[in-house]
Structure 1
Amino acid sequence: MTMAPERLARLERLADRQDVVDCLTRFSRGMDRLDRDIFLSAFHPDAIIAAGPFVGSPPDCFDWAAPMHEAGQVATHHNLLNITCEIEGDTAHSETYYLFVGRNRDDSNWIAGGRYIDRLERRDGEWRIAFRTNAIEWSGIVPTMALPFADVPDIHGNGAPARSKDDPSYRRPLVNLRDLVTPG
Structure 2
Amino acid sequence: MDAERMARMESLLDRHDILDCLGRFSRGMDRFDRDLLLSAFHPDATIAAGVFVGGPKALYDWASAMHEQGQVATHHNLLNHTCEIVGDTAHTETYYVFVGRNRDESNWIAGGRYIDRLERRDGAWRMVLRTNVIEWSGLVPTMPLPFADVPDVHGNGAPVRGKDDPSYRRPLVNLRAEHIPPGSQD
The answer to whether the aligner puts 1:101 opposite 2:94 as a matched pair is no
- Name 1:182's counterpart in structure 2: 180
* Corresponding residue SS for 2:65: helix
After superposition, residues 33-182 of structure 1 pair within 5 angstroms as 33-182=31-180
SS at match of 2:92: strand
CA distance, structure 2, for counterparts of residue 151 and residue 24 of structure 1: 35
SS in 1 for 2:32: coil
- How far the C-alpha of 1:168 sits from its partner, in A, is 0.1
CA drift of 1:90 comes to 0.2
Q: Give the drift of 1:100.
A: 0.1
- CA displacement, residues 61-110 of structure 1 (integer Å, 9 cap, x when unaligned): 11001011011100000000000000011000000000000000000000
**Which whole-Å deviations, capped at 9, do the CAs of 1:41-79 have from their partners, x for residues lacking one?**
000000000000100000001100101101110000000
Q: Which runs of 4+ in 1 moved over 3 A?
A: none
Gaps of 5+ in 2: none
Query: Tell me, what secondary structure is at the counterpart of 2:74?
Result: strand
Pairwise CA distance, 1:120: 0.2
Q: Partner amino acid for 1:125?
A: G
Q: Which amino acid aligns with 2:118?
A: L
Once residues 166 and 106 of structure 1 are traced to their aligned partners in structure 2, the CA distance between those partners, rounded to angstroms, is 24
> How far apart are residue 4 of structure 1 and its match?
1.0
User: Matches of 1:53 and 1:104 in 2, distance apart?
Assistant: 20
Measure, in 1, the Cα distance between the counterparts of 2:75 and 2:156.
Answer: 20
User: Identity of counterpart residues, as a percentage?
Assistant: 76
Partners of 1:182 and 1:133 in 2: CA distance: 47
| TM-score, with length taken from structure 1 | 0.98
Which residues of structure 1 form unaligned runs of 5+?
A: none
Show the counterpart of 1:22: 20
**In 2, distance between residues paired with 1:7 and 1:179?**
49
1:31 alignment partner in structure 2 = 29
- Aligned residue for 1:159, secondary structure, equals coil
- Looking at structure 1, the residues matched to 68 and 52 of structure 2 have their Cα atoms a distance apart, in angstroms, of 17
Q: Figure out how many residues of one structure are paired with residues of the other and give that number.
A: 182
Q: Partner amino acid for 2:109?
A: I
